Structure formats: C-alpha cells, structure tokens
Amino acid sequence: MREVPSGLVCDLANVGFDEAIERVTAALKVEGFGVLTSINIRDTFAAKLGVDFRRYVILGACNPTLAHRGLSAEPQMGLLLPCNVVVQETAEGEVSVSIADPRTMAQLLDNPDLVPMVEEVEGRLRRVMAALS
C-alpha cells in the first residue's frame, strides 16, 4: 500500500479484475461498509462515446453508522458520500485499488466536529487496504 495526495493505493499482483472487485467488496464488508453503487467506466465510455477504455470501476462504499454521524455533524457531508473506491487495470495489465483519503475530503468542509468520525473512517479504510496487500 502506498499513499498518494488523494488517497491510498494498493497494487494487486496476480489477481484478476473480477476477483479484485470481490476481494475489495469483502474487505469493505469486514469494516462495516456496503457497496451502494458500482459505476463501470469502461462500459459507460463504450456506450456513450464509442471509446474503448481499460477496465475501471468506481465503487461507492458506505458505512451507514459513520455516514449518519457525519451527516448529523455536518449537513454538507453528503457531498463527500459515498466513499469512492476505484478498481482499475493498469497499463501493465495488473489491477490497482485506490481509496480516497477521508481526511483530505473532510478538509473541504472545515468542520472540527467531523474529526473523530473521519479518523475512524480512515482507520477502517486503511485496514481494508492492508487486507488487500
């Protein structure tokens, strides 16, 4: 796992794309997150633009308890929900998983009441990425 300015990235060696989606979904579930949305960028680009694109899926993950805490503290928190998790094929044909950094996202709202919830979300998402490593 490595950190980038926008979040955490984990490269999965010798894992197929569909298996990666299953692993990510299972690891999220262990930490109390469900996948609310799944956006298949490849299929969307093919249908709307006639463009061939690598396999790229954006999963919208949500932990209802933590989402409730966040929305109760900050009504605009919904602009940052659900947590985006990207599963994509790399140029080398491997699979990479990225998760947006909740601290970076929460800074946009500048609400100190969110700090405990954001710290918990970050810990859970780091455990998800560690489980994938």
Domain residue limits, the chain: 2-132
**DSSP per-residue string spanning 54-81:** --EEEEEEE-HHHHHHHHHH-GGGGGG-
- Give the pLDDT score at 123: 93
Q: Which of 9-18, 54-63, 97-106 shows the highest mean pLDDT? A: 54-63
Give CATH for domain 2-132. 3.30.310.70
d(CA 2, CA 62): 22
The predicted-structure confidence for 83-133, as pLDDT tens digits, reads as follows 999 999 988 889 999 998 888 877 888 888 888 988 999 999 999 999 998
